[in-house]
Chain A
């Protein structure tokens, strides 16, 4: 009789809980469906290749070793515990354990897992409240889950312990922890023990169900969404932005001005965010006191989506609603004081940004329909602080993409509202008129050749039989400092006997700057014009010294019809050294650190070639900065920021230069004209430009090949 009652009660409680859980998940699904449909590429193999290492291998999480190991214990612990929970529930209803072979070992595995999870939770709490990692939020909300887990684990052990007493099994070596309960309550009557068993069995069930209901309504929704998000992620190059169909006459706006303008996959990202703060921790904007924090970009958009979704679908996000009433809507309210770092002691510090984000994201009594995505949720200040370095995306354990969202917001500002910061506007207007951001005459583009009296520079028009087009790029053509890199590169290509040619005045800006600034229209114009020139000369291979040009040619131009192999000069030079066509022979006795360009490294995985070149040069001592390769910090110039002034906090290039100075190099080398400019400005601002050189890898190689340095003055 008692067991029947128990069973019916169990069915009722569990049924109600499962109903609520399905409902909250379904409601969020309806919010995501408000977005535009996403077209996914069907490449299961490609998806598997990242899904397994990232989900089951926890690859991204282990980038932070300590937190990573903690998470691995939780992840596998909870998978193992699923069986234990089933066993406990089954036993409570049926009276005997699940028919699992080696049941005693199964019990042992459960108890070890419970203890492991408890250790992991305590360590997690220590990371958050003891070590006080800046990237982790503090406050009751952030620790709620830890208490859920502690209660759950406690209820598991107590249920098992009292079950052991009431059944008269006695202590067992296979159940070391629950046996402790047996010892502790030695002499307890079996009746009382049975009642306590029932009590803890129910506690376990209720904690478990409320935990399961809490999960989708919190950042812990990532238990479901993260694996789905990783599976559905974009499989084309991260260097390729979605293009806009500008011919679409139905389009009323371009870019994203409302949350539902995002694609559904982009909205799924928001619910996958677990607020671990790894993105903000590495963000060059957050680290230097700008308002932008990639984690808050996600969480603010998520909160806004939930509020707007609830309003649009009339599906309540918070269940049961008698416990969780809706209180108002979030929006950005002016902070009491502007953040910004004054003479920071540390090279980078995310604290001012985190504080300002926390202070400004406030529940108000405004109507959801009065909240503007741009302005009230994400401010223009945040939108125009991103260097598009993708360090956040590289760190994100749940596969979120932050940069494309920022670009979508920029597109709305630029293309639909025509609202562009003055500096950016000037750069784009100059590109439109003269093909370069400074507004220097387009007819002066090939002027750099005048200084190369002692070198041969074949023009494409006169040498139709060339193998490779050397695309000089805007910086290499006009900027005095970058011209020296161009000269070194041409010297090296001549040395190796490469049959190359240049376009001279026929070259146009690659369009990377306008595209990253949101001016899709200008990008597509430039892209088509450049491709027409390439086709005119039957270009089959392109080499360039600019990673931004390299990235857009390689990853974005093919969509518009470019059919050519595209390489970066470091790739070509490394190859030529390997083939013995370039032989570094003169010693360059310098301690050199190499700064990874974002668009070369994180965007295109070119990490080794520049280092191979440096290693091939006799005398060079290559030293790595603390942040290098995948986690290299941006110089501050990407995403069009090269042309805009940073007036909040510290300059990104100064922070990066300080990181380089920490390894005490003679030379800071790079392979990007923007990085070169930013780092050389950085050494000037640190007053170190007399002691420390900033050079492109190609210049150092040229010095080793061709010792007469007057050519590369």
Chain B
């Protein structure tokens, strides 16, 4: 049974978010010969259309509307409802991102349809669409299916993966009516951090009170750049004004789960560990061999971070040059 799948894409910093491409991949798994339609908000952008094609969109609907250039829940909800009513899809997919979490329930409520959120796998078993989602903080998985109506699903990022398939999508410009907006976005004021987003980074280089100054973070930034990662910090470092609070990792900051976490000059108070202990590989650099951070670290280096970190940066840089 072929299905029509509708994927609402999301952009960040002018690029299509990876999770939207994962949604396209998921859609291609399950359409069974049906059409995969991607929805692009704002304006027609050929690079984006090409990219959507590259990851499996048969058709791209461009929603040309001034109000959709930046995200607001009300405008996006109205647009989504109109597209769904226009295309009548069997499956609707979007990323389980901040925006996705914000709009999906509104749309589901408006259309009176079901929603299965935060899924990590989408498959077809015996002709039926099966959605897998983690429960009990990831200790178990539950499989769900829709009993009626279109399947409306949000997808957790970094689980399905992407698959290049090179399609040349048909482009349709669609006019949507956006009205009665109670709020509009005037300006986005960015708070510090350049480069990679901390909570999505695969590598995080993080500094604590041991970094001693704002300048001290320079060597961490260099290491992070070489590794394509982001810079984070402990609460102590933020309190001491070495860096902005938006970098704080821990109980009252961000929770990160990168593949590699390099903790520099962080003693490892439990409040900090609460934000990073789920990282796949933890490397600790600290002068104090008794520091608690070594208890959770997979690799530990006892030494002065101002000596160790530049060595590491240099070594990784050389490795990259070789390869």
- Enumerate chain A interface residues (CB-CB to B < 8 A): 423, 426-427, 430, 433-434, 437-440, 478-481, 643-645, 647, 681, 684-685, 713
Contacts and interface: CB of A to CB of B under 8 A. Distances in A.
Interface stretch (B111-119, B217-225, B263-271, B299-307): B263-271
Given A440-B274, A440-B277, A423 B239 contact: no
B268 A480 contact: yes
15 contacts: A426-B255, A427-B251, A430-B274, A433-B137, A437-B274, A438-B273, A438-B274, A440-B273, A440-B274, A479-B269, A480-B292, A480-B295, A681-B236, A684-B209, A684-B236
B268 A423 contact: no
Contact of A480 (B236, B239, B255, B270): B270
Contacts of B186: none
A426 B254 CA distance: 11
Interface residues of B, number: 20
A478 B252 contact: no
Contacts of A426: 251, 255
Say whether chain B's binding surface is mostly helix, strand, loop, or mixed.
loop
A433 B251 contact: no
A417 B292 CA distance: 39
A645 B251 CA distance: 9
B13 interface: no
A433 B136 contact: yes
A644 B274 contact: no
B270 A643 contact: no
B269 A480 contact: yes
A485 to B, nearest CB: 14
Interface in B205-233: 209
B315 interface: no
Nearest to B274: A438
Nearest to A654: B239
B290 interface: yes
A644 B252 contact: yes
A713 B245 CA distance: 32
Contacts of B290: 713
B292 A434 contact: no
Interface string B263-298: 000001111011001000000000000101001000
B165 interface: no
Contacts of B137: 433-434, 439
A92 to B, nearest CB: 69
A433 B239 CA distance: 30
A81 to B, nearest CB: 57
B267 to A, nearest CB: 9
A439 B276 CA distance: 11
B233 to A, nearest CB: 14
Given A440-B274, A479-B270, 17 more contacts: A423-B251, A427-B251, A433-B137, A437-B251, A438-B270, A439-B137, A478-B270, A480-B268, A480-B269, A480-B295, A643-B251, A643-B252, A644-B252, A681-B236, A684-B209, A684-B236, A713-B290
A517 to B, nearest CB: 14
A713 B291 CA distance: 11
Interface in B149-167: none
B252 A423 contact: yes
Nearest to A645: B252
Interface in B97-140: 136-137
Contact of B251 (A434, A438, A685, A713): A438
A710 B292 CA distance: 16
Given A478-B270, A480-B268, A685 B240 contact: yes
B164 to A, nearest CB: 37
A87 B168 CA distance: 105
A681 B235 CA distance: 10
A293 to B, nearest CB: 24
Interface string B50-65: 0000000000000000
A644 B240 CA distance: 18
Contacts of A437: 251, 274
A434 B269 CA distance: 18
Among A437, A644, A645, A647, max chain B CB count under 10 A is at: A645
Nearest to B139: A433
A397 B295 CA distance: 51
Contacts of B245: 647
A249 B52 CA distance: 52
Contact of B239 (A439, A478, A481, A685): A685
Contacts of B209: 684
Nearest to B293: A480
A505 to B, nearest CB: 16
Nearest to B275: A438
A481 B277 CA distance: 17
A684 B266 CA distance: 13
Contacts of A438: 251, 270-271, 273-274
A481 B267 CA distance: 11
Among A423, A480, A643, A713, max chain B CB count under 10 A is at: A480
Contacts of A439: 137, 274
A437 B277 CA distance: 14
Contacts of A645: 252
Contacts of A685: 239-240
Contacts of A681: 236
Contacts of A427: 251
A168 to B, nearest CB: 81
Contacts of A684: 209, 236
B249 to A, nearest CB: 13
A438 B268 CA distance: 13
A481 B236 CA distance: 16
Contacts of B268: 480
B295 to A, nearest CB: 8
A426 B274 CA distance: 11
A357 to B, nearest CB: 26
B261 to A, nearest CB: 16
Contacts of A440: 270, 273-274, 277
A480 B269 CA distance: 7
A59 B50 CA distance: 80
Among B236, B240, B251, B269, max chain A CB count under 10 A is at: B251
A684 B274 CA distance: 20
Nearest to A427: B251
Among A434, A440, A644, max chain B CB count under 10 A is at: A440
Contacts of B252: 423, 643-645
A119 B255 CA distance: 63
Nearest to B272: A438
A434 B273 CA distance: 15
A438 B250 CA distance: 9
A84 B3 CA distance: 96
Contacts of B271: 438
B246 to A, nearest CB: 12
A500 B240 CA distance: 43
B141 to A, nearest CB: 16
Nearest to A439: B274
A439 B271 CA distance: 10
Nearest to A474: B270
Contacts of B274: 430, 437-440
Nearest to B270: A479
Nearest to A689: B209
B302 to A, nearest CB: 16
A607 to B, nearest CB: 29
A480 B236 CA distance: 16
A261 to B, nearest CB: 29
B105 to A, nearest CB: 14
A685 B235 CA distance: 11
A138 to B, nearest CB: 36
A681 B234 CA distance: 13
A676 B295 CA distance: 21
Contacts of A713: 290
